[in-house]
Amino acid sequence: MFLQLADKNQRPGPYRIFLLANLDSNAVENPLTTFKMSIQKNNTGYFVSYTNEAGETVTKKYYDTKALEQLDEDNVYVGFFASRTAKISVTDINLTTVSPENDVAKEEQPVTTVAPSYKVTSASVSNSESYKLSYVANADGHVVVTAADGMVIADEDVTAGQKYVWETTLTLSVKSFK
């Protein structure tokens, strides 16, 4: 399991929270050796929690209720494994099921604020009149693209991470967009 420690005055990056060996330079300061782990699917999604010996619990929430149904929509396989030379002991495993109607109400995923980034990804030059203006952004929103002569090339809602392409014709008066 990895933990992001950028908010704890550590350099950004993943850190292991479990003790692997004394040579482990990417482990947190006091790695865990014994803990209680919980994997829960509820109306919100999947929650993975671990509680250390002092009773402190950390939970990571995954808001996709269908995340583990990609390979097999009828079954979800749960287990524990150790990779490479790691050794683990797993004890006291139990499974409890609750029907969605009896579960707690769904939590809405918190909105994450990002610094908007809008990029024109098409070529800056063209050797023909036919031109495909391509665009991508890291945030949902609305884009209006206007040619230098005032003609609107695009006026539509856009979704973060999706590439948009608008075909246009370049002329001597239409060679830039805003």
Q: What is the pLDDT of residue 12?
A: 52
Q: What does the pLDDT read at residue 165?
A: 94
- Distance (Å) of CA 4 to CA 13, 31, 57, 149: 6, 14, 15, 49
Single pTM value for the model: 0.53
Report residue 156 as tokens: 């539509």
Give residue 175's pLDDT.
60
**Mean pLDDT for each consecutive 10-residue tract of the chain (178 residues)?**
46 51 52 79 89 86 84 83 75 85 92 87 86 91 87 92 90 66
- Predicted pLDDT at 156: 94
Query: What is the number of other CB atoms lying within 10 angstroms of the CB of residue 107?
Result: 13
pLDDT of residue 150: 84
Distance CA 135, CA 157 (A): 12
Q: Measure the CA–CA gap between 50 and 62, rounded to whole angstroms.
A: 15
Residue at 29: amino acid letter = E
- pLDDT reported for residue 94: 84
Residue 1: predicted pLDDT: 41
Which tokens sit at 36? 């209680």
**What is the number of other CB atoms lying within 10 angstroms of the CB of residue 44?**
19
pLDDT at 162: 94
Rg (CA), the chain: 25
Among 137, 143, 133, 141, smallest CA distance to 161 is for 137
The C-alpha atoms of residue 172 and residue 38 are separated, in whole angstroms, by 65
Query: What pLDDT does residue 7 have?
Result: 46
- The reported pLDDT for the residue numbered 23 is 46
CA 16-17-21 angle, 5° bins? 70
